[in-house]
Each structure stands twice: as C-alpha cells, then as structure tokens.
Amino acid sequence: MRIVGKILKSFFDDDCFMLSANIAFCALLALVPLTMIMVSIAGYFLGSSGEVFQQIVNGIIGVLPIGKEEFIANMRQLMEQRSSLGIVGVVFLVFIATILVGSIERAFDIIFRSVKRRNFFHSRLIGIALIFWITLLFFIPTMIRVLEGLLYRYGFDFPLDEIFTADVFMFFVTFLSFVIGSVVIPNQKVYARYAAIGGVVFALGVFLARIIFRWYIDIAITRYNVIYGSFTAAILFIVWTYYLANVLLLSAEVVAQIQSWRRGNAENTNPGAPIDE
C-alpha cells in the first residue's frame, strides 16, 4: 500500500492534471493528421489503403465512446482529398501529429525525472519514428489472417481470427503502444519490464474507462444537452480525451515509482549495482 500512496502523491506533486490537459489539447489537434499519416504509411506497405484505412480507423475508434460515425465520415472525406495537400501540407500534418508526442515527452520527462530535455528536432524525429512503429501494430490483423491461411493450407484449422477479437486487439495495441512510448519517449532510462507493468495498467484503464464512460453518458447526456446544446458531443469527446491522458500519466507514474523502488532496493542490498542485476 505504501507504493500506491507514493504513486498518488507523485501524481499530484507532478501536477499531472495540468499535464493531462496539455496532452488532451494536443491530442485533439493531432488526431486527424495522425490518422491520415498512419493510413498513408500502412497503405504504402500493404498496397491497399481501403482495408488499411478500415483497420486503423477501427483501432482508433475502439477508444472513442462517442462520435464514431462522424469521425469515420470526416476521415473518408479527408482521405479522398489528401492528394491536394502538396509537400507543404504533408510537412504541416507531420508537424501537427508530432506535437502530441512532444507534449507526452514533456510530461514523461517530469514524471521520470529527466535531467535534460531533448532539443526540438531530436524530439520531432522521435515522434515521427514512434508514429511509424505504432502504425506497424495495425498490420497485426492482416498478418494473423495470412498465418491462419498458411496453417489451413498445411491441414491446421486454427481459428486465430476468432481468438484475436477486436477487444483483444485493442488491449494488445494499447499495451504495446504504452510500453514502446514509455521506453522511447522520456530522455531517461526506462526498463521495458517495468514499462510492461504500466502497459497492463494503461490497457486495463482504457478498457474500464470505455465501460464507465458509456454508462456515464447514458445518465448525464440530457444534462449536457441542456448546458451545451449542439456542442455536447464535442465537450464529451474533450472530457474523454482528458480522462485518457490522466490514465496515461497515472500509468507512467506506476512505472516511475516501481523503477525508483527497485533502484532503492538494489542500492541498499548492493551499493553501486545497476538496477537490472
């Protein structure tokens, strides 16, 4: 229980509510450019942007409790017009998309007590690399279907597609995205095995949040309509994004505190020994 208290204390001491607001704002700016870039990257490798678009959009709307139909419709319209962007437009989209990674990096540097921050260009390059690698995770359903077909050809009827359902895929993607992000983003050494614990916390937090938030919307939607009118969906989406950002930073605090606790134990038992020994 002591470590739980330390996690919560650190969460408040690091002003994570304010950091989450910054991440939520950047996420709203970056959502559409990020989706367009991910679809373009995946379409380049897979050759068919139609199926790729559906896979990536399905993965993104998996964490959206509201506004799924509007998001899909807007994205289809934007993807049809992407050829008119030009080089300047593409560079601008990449820049906006990496703003989200930059805001997460700032928060993670505070949580993990980074001594020095990266320069602007280094930070943006890491953001571009992260977008690329996380996009590759959306290839998983395609690879599973290919593997299932190969197994069937050799006489093995193994229903991989039925086992790897949409919920399982969403859990897997959120888990791996957090692990990759928490290891790569902060300018501080973070061990993958501790990041994996935070990844489980984050994936479970997102899963539970979807259930709770849908229940809350059913109860509070009338109240929001009275106050915000036609802006209700946008306000609820902002609240949802802010909540996800808080879950992200709380999961990062879990990793930071476990790693700090492990470092303290290592130094007490064997002064000067590295954490991983």
**Token representation of residue 210:** 């979807």
Task: Report domain extents, the chain.
Answer: 2-269
What confidence score (pLDDT) does residue 228 get? 72
Burial class (CB in 10 A: 0-12, 13-18, 19+), 265: exposed
Q: What's the pLDDT at 81?
A: 57
Other CB atoms within 10 Å distance of the CB of residue 231:
12
pLDDT at position 149 is 67
Q: Are 236 and 66 in contact (CB under 8 A)?
A: yes
Residue 270 · residue 277 · CB < 8 Å: yes
Q: List the chain residues with pLDDT less than 50.
A: 47, 275, 277
> Which candidate, 252, 40, 223, 219, places its Cα nearest to that of 135?
40
Per-residue pLDDT tens digits for 173-226: 889 889 999 999 998 899 999 999 999 999 999 888 888 877 777 776 677 677
* Cα→Cα distances 159→54, 100, 167, Å: 22, 37, 16
User: How is residue 196 written in tokens?
Assistant: 């994996």
Choose among 249, 247, 217: nearest CA to 233: 217
Q: What tokens appear for 26 in the block? A: 């950047």
